[in-house]
Amino acid sequence: MTGPELLSSLSQLFGTKILERIEFRGETTFVIDARDIREIAKFCKEELSFDYLLDISSVDNFGEEPRFEVVYELYSMTCAVHLRIKVRLSEDTPTVDTVSDIWPTANWHEREIWDMMGLRFNNHPDLRRILMWEGYPYFPLRKEFPLEGLPSDMPDVAFTSAAPMEGGPFVTQPSTATAKDREPRARRPLDE
């Protein structure tokens, strides 16, 4: 089965469950209802050979409703086809079912999305923070989170006050140097 045939069969089989089909630069995206993610994900893996979950990410469309999107990047090794599946989540109920039992690699992706964006994954086997500490009350990738961070009551774990926006620990200098040479470097004391 060719890539276009594979994607066409998915469209036909799930019909109205596919809310929107987007074609852009040779890539196909299906927008589906969050309630259908497990059924469609399982079918994609078992019947259509989408055996590789490349990534799961999330988007905060602050000011819009539904506010959040969870984006699944799938790939079929046997057919060399890429598929993107999106589910949209309301700010009131930012939850979707886990796919970590379908693709085990989803485990850490889902934990990171929970940690950074605050989106819950129902029936996840170990939904706990992966980068921030347990009990941290904020979700740093949400758009209302300030760039300078927020104060913390845990001095042993993180800064106790917001980080300054200017003169931070990394600096770049405008120049005509190559990208490699312009990379931010740790600031060195002036006496070095």
Residues of the domain holding 76: 7-162
CATH code for position 16: 3.30.460.80
Residue numbers of the chain with a pLDDT score lower than 50:
186-187, 192
**pLDDT tens column, 57-100:** 999 999 999 999 999 999 999 888 999 999 999 999 999 999 99
**Is residue 173, in this structure, part of any structural domain at all?**
no
The model carries a pTM of 0.79
**Is residue 183, in this structure, part of any structural domain at all?**
no
Number of domains the chain contains: 1
- As to burial, measured by CB atoms within 10 angstroms (0-12 exposed, 13-18 middle, 19+ buried), residue 109 is buried
Q: How many CB atoms lie within 10 A of CB 44?
A: 25
**Is residue 167, in this structure, part of any structural domain at all?**
no
**Is residue 189, in this structure, part of any structural domain at all?**
no
- As to burial, measured by CB atoms within 10 angstroms (0-12 exposed, 13-18 middle, 19+ buried), residue 71 is middle
